Amino acid sequence: MEEEFDSLSYSEAPKIIVRPPGPKSLEILREQRSLETRTLIYPKVFEFAIDSARGATIRDVDGNYYVDWVAGIAVLNVGHNNPYVINAIREQLDRYVHWMSEIPSEARIRFLKNLHSILPPGLRGKARVITSVTGASAVEAAIAIARWASKKPVIMAFEGAYHGVHQGAVMATAKRGLQRLSSMPLINVVRIPYPYPYRCPMPAKDPEECGYMVLSYIEHLLSDPYSGVGDVGAIIFEPIEGEGGYIVPPRDFLKGLREIADKHGILLIADEIQSGVGRTGKWWAVEHFGITPDIMTISKAIGGGIPISFVAYRDDLDEKLEEMFHLGTYRANPLGLAAGSAVIDYIRSRNLLERASSLGDHTINRFREMMERYEIIGDVRGIGFMIGVELVKSKRTKEPGEKIAQELRKRLFQRGLLMHTCGHYGNVMRFMAPLVISKKHLEAGLEIFEEEVASLSKEIKAG
Ligand SMILES: Cc1ncc(COP(=O)(O)O)c(C=O)c1O
């Protein structure tokens, strides 16, 4: 199997033949600036124009090869241009690309059976699915389901959460019935703290106590008639916070949240858009915490690079929804469905869950060893291939090292390693490589990472 993983990527990577951005990249970046909005951010962070990509590697137009630890923001779990996925898309291309998005096809049914078969045990065989396009559109559908089914107007969401940026286009749509179904006019979010063990918002002495204090606070908000919080229909959460900083909650936190939700008749929405589809070594991150959500959002990696998203939810909730509950021209794109079946088959047949666990353990241990050696690494956390390395100015003060993270990201890029940041302060380096990365490329990346952390630390020490 290792040979197959080797063959998926460009063996040349990492190889920098001209310091990026090279001349061809610069020219394309210049043209882009004249054609697109100046508000773009990624071309400023990773200054190159992409030529092609394979497995866990990318080639730029100047002939530089990079090891990719970004994976299109946790999308390419089975790697860039996975041949198995590309074949499935090609076969679908020969049949049809788009028609009315709800009309079934064999490919659609095959995908849905596949998807149902990997749902968390508590939902498997007891779920319905709504199809959509982007992560945010799935989240909007999930919130609408919860509000519609619970008939309660308030949603609780966590600090550090990222669920997307759609703005309720339905408000501008004239059909009153559709506004009503989507529940958007009344959107009302109450923000609650997330148990962030390294920076607990409560004065806790350890992660478990942090989780316990946050749960007590949520319980208080829900049970005190004077808390000012209205009728809560759902709590939406990321089982491991993504954009917020790859934050793993304390072990029993989600179980406690499940208990509170059950006690108060509240639905739990797990947003698995970033953490799902094998990234953490299980199909879904919630499985690590032994809970079943009532509603779950799925996108990113499931489409192998084709935009597609889903909401899976308890089938008894379906009876509460009306026809035309969720609309959109491009839901369940046939290319995405074909890709999705292939993604699931590939993860299964190549045992990628096991690979993400074992290589993920190895990788987190390497980062933890580095944490012992370097003052700028304050915390390392994660599960599987979802690992956050939090940079600080000093371990003692924990002052966030946002500038350090930006500088490190730039230096890694110039050495041929693509790694992005996240976190409340933008100071967390996140490891989200494709699960098919070869051991050789993983080690090459870890070496570059340590070398650059070492030289940055030295420079900072020297002032
Ligand atoms: C957990 C989570 N939910 C929702 C989204 C939004 O997805 P999209 O960007 O496809 O709208 C993201 C995107 O990063 C995400 O990480």
Tell whether 37 is covered by a domain.
no
The residue whose CA is least distant from atom 4 of ligand 1 is 163
DSSP codes, 383-420: ETTEEEEEEBS-TTT--B-HHHHHHHHHHHHHHTEE-E
Task: Find the 436 Cα to ligand 1 centroid distance in Å.
Answer: 22
Tell whether 80 is covered by a domain.
no
Write the CATH number for 15: 3.90.1150.10
Q: Could you tell me which of 205, 279, 198 has the C-alpha nearest to residue 238?
A: 279
What's the domain count of the chain?
Answer: 2
204: containing domain? 85-349
- Give the strands of the sheet with 50-54, arranged side by side: 50-54, 57-60, 65-68, 417-418
Task: Find the 111 Cα to ligand 1 centroid distance in Å.
Answer: 21
pLDDT at 47: 97
Whether residue 231 sits in one domain with residue 363: no
pLDDT at 171: 72
H runs (alpha helix) in 224-252? none
Residue that finishes a domain, picked among 333, 349, 365: 349
User: pLDDT tens digit string along 9-62?
Assistant: 999 999 999 999 999 999 999 999 999 999 999 999 999 999 999 999 999 999
Residue 348: partners with Cβ closer than 8 Å, 6 or more residues away: none
Whether residue 356 sits in one domain with residue 341: no
Task: Find the 136 Cα to ligand 1 centroid distance in Å.
Answer: 6
pTM above 0.95, yes or no: yes
Residue 37: partners with Cβ closer than 8 Å, 6 or more residues away: none
Considering only CA atoms, give the Rg of the chain: 22
Residue that finishes a domain, picked among 327, 349, 371: 349
Integer CA distances (angstroms), 60 to 9, 14, 45, 444, in order: 14, 12, 15, 19
Task: Find the 28 Cα to ligand 1 centroid distance in Å.
Answer: 28
Tell whether 73 is covered by a domain.
no
Q: How far apart are CA 164 and CA 37, in angstroms?
A: 20
- Ligand 1: residue of 299, 330, 428 to mutate (most ligand atoms within 8 A of CB) is 299
Write the CATH number for 316: 3.40.640.10
Q: Could you tell me which of 291, 304, 301, 283 has the C-alpha nearest to residue 384?
A: 283
Whether residue 271 sits in one domain with residue 393: no
Task: Find the 70 Cα to ligand 1 centroid distance in Å.
Answer: 14
Task: Find the 211 Cα to ligand 1 centroid distance in Å.
Answer: 24
Residue 430: partners with Cβ closer than 8 Å, 6 or more residues away: 246, 386, 387, 388, 389, 419, 420, 421, 422
The residue whose CA is least distant from atom 8 of ligand 1 is 135
Whether residue 142 sits in one domain with residue 26: no
Tell whether 236 is covered by a domain.
yes
Residue 448 CA to chain centroid, in angstroms? 24
Residue that finishes a domain, picked among 317, 349, 381: 349
Q: How far apart are CA 408 and CA 449, in angstroms?
A: 8
Tell whether 42 is covered by a domain.
no
Task: Find the 160 Cα to ligand 1 centroid distance in Å.
Answer: 13
pLDDT at 186: 54
pLDDT at 60: 98
Whether residue 236 sits in one domain with residue 136: yes
Task: Find the 243 Cα to ligand 1 centroid distance in Å.
Answer: 9
The residue whose CA is least distant from atom 7 of ligand 1 is 135
Whether residue 378 sits in one domain with residue 340: no
- Ligand 1: residue of 272, 275, 300, 311 to mutate (most ligand atoms within 8 A of CB) is 300
Lining ligand 1 with CB less than 6 A are: 73, 134-136, 139, 162-164, 238, 242-243, 271, 273-274, 299
Report mean pLDDT in 10-residue bins for the chain, 463 residues.
95 98 98 96 96 98 98 98 98 95 94 98 96 95 94 94 82 73 70 96 96 98 94 97 97 97 98 98 98 98 98 97 89 96 98 98 98 98 98 97 98 98 97 98 98 96 87
The four Cα atoms 338, 340, 342, 346 give a dihedral, to 10 degrees, of: 180
The residue whose CA is least distant from atom 10 of ligand 1 is 135
Q: How far apart are CA 178 and CA 302, in angstroms?
A: 28
Q: Decide: residue 430, CB within 10 A, 0-12 exposed, 13-18 middle, 19+ buried.
A: buried
Integer CA distances (angstroms), 200 to 64, 153, 195, 212, 448, in order: 42, 29, 6, 11, 31
Tell whether 249 is covered by a domain.
yes
Whether residue 251 sits in one domain with residue 129: yes
Whether residue 237 sits in one domain with residue 380: no
Could you tell me if 241 and 247 are in contact, meaning their C-beta atoms sit under 8 angstroms apart?
A: yes
pLDDT at 132: 96
Q: Which secondary structure element, helix H or strand E, spans residue 440, and what is its range?
A: helix 439-462
Residue 217 CA to chain centroid, in angstroms? 27
Whether residue 8 sits in one domain with residue 110: no
Could you tell me if 234 and 147 are in contact, meaning their C-beta atoms sit under 8 angstroms apart?
A: yes
H runs (alpha helix) in 122-267? 135-150, 176-182, 207-223, 253-264
Q: Which secondary structure element, helix H or strand E, spans residue 310, and what is its range?
A: strand 309-314
Tell whether 36 is covered by a domain.
no
Integer CA distances (angstroms), 456 to 19, 44, 151, 408, in order: 19, 21, 54, 8
Whether residue 331 sits in one domain with residue 384: no
Point out which residues pair with 191 in neighbouring strands. 157
pLDDT at 180: 72
Question: Measured from the CA of 299, which atom of ligand 1 is nearest?
Answer: 10
Whether residue 340 sits in one domain with residue 196: yes
pLDDT at 185: 54
Tell whether 369 is covered by a domain.
yes
Task: Find the 440 Cα to ligand 1 centroid distance in Å.
Answer: 30
Q: Decide: residue 308, CB within 10 A, 0-12 exposed, 13-18 middle, 19+ buried.
A: buried
Question: Measured from the CA of 243, which atom of ligand 1 is nearest?
Answer: 16
Q: Could you tell me which of 37, 15, 316, 296 has the C-alpha nearest to residue 150?
A: 316
- Ligand 1: residue of 132, 158, 163 to mutate (most ligand atoms within 8 A of CB) is 163
Whether residue 385 sits in one domain with residue 329: no
- Which amino acid, residue 45? V
